[in-house]
């Protein structure tokens, strides 16, 4: 019987009453802290390159796992009085890490990425040590692994999704074999971009792929003998096609990640060249899009955008014991993280507008609606244009964010080699030296200098520049590379770069919806 790494506030923990920001008035509640903002931050420094993946341990989030392009998996302990370095470091995959996931009771940690192998680590003794740095099992796939998700009830069961279109059901209780059973594979026609188990219903999971399909599936219909399978397990397909009124065209932005809230009642889709989009699990059309359009900016300053990298967001809330996950966190190309407060589903449903197909005529407005096809009604979700908080303190793109399940704490990472901890307070139980976060956001240079161009050309050719002297210079080179990508691709219009023309096959393809949730 493995131990569960639960998180109980350590004995040295501050009380919330002792951490009230001076300008915060009214009832002292966790929700008030979230709405007040996250004005303080500190950095966790151990990585030497981009940090692509963050994961908090189950049952309270005591441990944070981080991984990326430097191939190390660092584990950070939030029971430490002042986090300065990782609590433990694992030998990671041989190539860039894209995903990390703790199992249900923290017996295992799984890691995957571009080396086509899922690494399974035994972390059941993480609280007490010693802990092996090496994986206990390695499951080989045949392409880059984009996501790994663990069963909400069984430590040994997990799913992986890869760029060859395969979704594989694994069971660590069985002897791992080089040959994966056909009965445990779904083969899609497009790259898998995300796969996530439902947090409370054991047999449900959601997938997204590069053809913009987002589907809720049932393991009982997706895997097993051919005779027991049905429609690749699909029980509901969520509509992601967008149409813009003033140009009469459609687009299908590519989803890079999907996320459930804690109860599995809501899901969010983060897509390339579009905004994070909120759905109710019981409705195939979206309820809200999360933008930063109302944020006051100086002339020429950017706001929320997602055009260049794979983004991963998450739901969360200030008090898991008494409230739903009513916030959503996402990263942006404008070097900030964004936190939106999500109104109740019933409110968003009432605000959503439906326009019948025969009324969707060309006019001068740039209204965007979601639709099943050109001949279907258009649904206009509520725009959440005012973020609850804009999380600054980064010098480049923010790709990944987590909301801590127990403390008013947000973690963000991306192109830089540091993890940023954001807090409403100047101190917290595990860090005593938080500083006010700089409010000036680094501006994207309008052009590349000749010196920078030589560095970037070397990086694109896979050659390390010989004149680097410090780790900071190496990080700045990476930032310059992504600055160039942003200048080339940033702010792209999805209707121009991802146009979609409906075919007869699209019209004939009916979405499954067996109303199982």
Residue 508 is predicted with a pLDDT of 55
User: Could you tell me if 36 and 29 are in contact, meaning their C-beta atoms sit under 8 angstroms apart?
Assistant: no
Residue 205 is predicted with a pLDDT of 98
CA distance 437 to 217: 42
pLDDT < 70 positions in the chain: 1-32, 175-179, 296-301, 319-323, 459-460, 462-470, 503-517
**Helix (H), strand (E) at residue 352:** none
pLDDT digits (tens, 9 = 90+) for 368-400: 999 999 899 999 999 999 999 999 999 999 999
CA proximity to 121, closest of 161, 148, 84: 148
pTM beyond cutoff 0.85: yes
Q: Residue 451 — φ and ψ, nearest 5°?
A: -65, -45
User: Could you tell me if 317 and 327 are in contact, meaning their C-beta atoms sit under 8 angstroms apart?
Assistant: yes
CA distance 185 to 156: 17
End-to-end CA distance of the chain: 32
Residue 465 is predicted with a pLDDT of 61
**Long-range Cβ pairs for the range 152-156 (8 Å, 24+):** 152/104, 152/197, 152/198, 152/199, 152/200, 152/202, 153/104, 153/202, 154/104, 154/202, 155/2, 155/103, 155/104, 155/105, 155/107, 155/108, 156/103, 156/108
SS3 at position 443? coil
SS3 at position 4? coil
Domain ranges for the chain: 39-436
Residue 164 is predicted with a pLDDT of 94
CA distance 259 to 276: 10
Residue 96 is predicted with a pLDDT of 93
- Which CATH fold would you assign to the domain 39-436? Methylamine Dehydrogenase; Chain H (2.130.10)
Residue 176 is predicted with a pLDDT of 56
Residue 23 is predicted with a pLDDT of 46
């Amino acid at each position: 019987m493995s131990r569960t790494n639960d998180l109980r506030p350590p004995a040295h923990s501050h009380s919330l009453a002792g951490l009230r920001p001076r300008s915060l008035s009214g009832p002292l509640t966790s929700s008030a802290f979230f709405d007040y903002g996250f004005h303080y931050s500190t950095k966790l420094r151990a990585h030497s390159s981009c940090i692509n993946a963050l994961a908090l341990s189950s049952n309270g989030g005591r441990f944070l796992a981080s991984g990326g392009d430097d191939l190390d998996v660092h584990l950070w302990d939030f029971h430490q009085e002042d986090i300065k370095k990782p609590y433990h470091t694992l030998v990671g995959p041989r190539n860039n890490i894209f995903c990390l996931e703790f199992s249900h009771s923290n017996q295992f940690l799984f890691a995957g990425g571009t080396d086509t192998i899922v690494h399974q680590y035994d972390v059941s003794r993480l609280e007490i040590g010693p802990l092996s740095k090496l994986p206990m099992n390695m499951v080989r796939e045949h392409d880059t692994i984009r996501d790994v998700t663990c069963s909400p009830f069984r430590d040994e069961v997990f799913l992986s999704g890869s760029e060859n279109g395969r979704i594989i059901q694994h069971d660590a209780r069985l002897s791992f074999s080089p040959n994966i059973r056909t009965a445990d594979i779904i083969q899609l026609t497009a790259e898998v971009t995300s796969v996530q188990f439902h947090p409370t219903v054991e047999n449900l999971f959601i997938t997204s792929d590069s053809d913009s399909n987002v589907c809720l599936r049932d393991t009982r219909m997706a895997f097993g003998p051919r005779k027991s399978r049905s429609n690749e397990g699909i029980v509901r397909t969520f509509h992601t096609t967008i149409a813009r009124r003033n140009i009469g065209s459609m687009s299908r932005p590519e989803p890079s990640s999907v996320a459930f809230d804690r109860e599995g009642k809501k899901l969010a889709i983060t897509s390339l060249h579009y905004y994070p989009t909120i759905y109710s699990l019981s409705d195939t059309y979206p309820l809200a899009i999360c933008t930063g359009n109302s944020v006051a900016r100086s002339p020429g300053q950017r706001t929320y955008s997602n055009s260049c990298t794979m983004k991963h967001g998450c739901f969360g809330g200030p008090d898991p014991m008494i409230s739903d996950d009513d916030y959503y966190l996402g990263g942006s190309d404008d070097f900030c993280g964004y936190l939106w407060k999500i109104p109740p589903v019933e409110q968003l449903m009432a605000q959503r507008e439906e326009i019948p197909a025969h009324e969707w005529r060309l006019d001068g407005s740039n209204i965007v609606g979601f639709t099943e096809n050109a001949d279907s009604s258009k649904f206009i979700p509520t725009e959440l244009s005012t973020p609850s908080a804009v999380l600054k303190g980064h010098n480049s793109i923010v790709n990944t964010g987590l909301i801590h399940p127990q403390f008013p704490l947000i973690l963000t990472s991306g192109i830089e080699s540091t993890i940023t901890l954001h807090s409403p307070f100047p101190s917290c139980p595990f860090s005593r030296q938080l500083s006010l976060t700089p409010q000036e956001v680094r501006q994207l240079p309008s052009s590349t200098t000749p010196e920078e161009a030589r560095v970037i050309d070397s990086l694109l050719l896979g050659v390390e520049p010989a004149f680097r002297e410090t780790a900071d210079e190496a990080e700045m080179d990476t930032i310059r590379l992504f600055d160039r990508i942003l200048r080339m691709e940033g702010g792209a219009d999805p209707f121009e770069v991802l146009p979609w023309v409906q075919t007869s096959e699209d019209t004939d393809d009916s979405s499954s919806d067996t109303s199982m949730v």
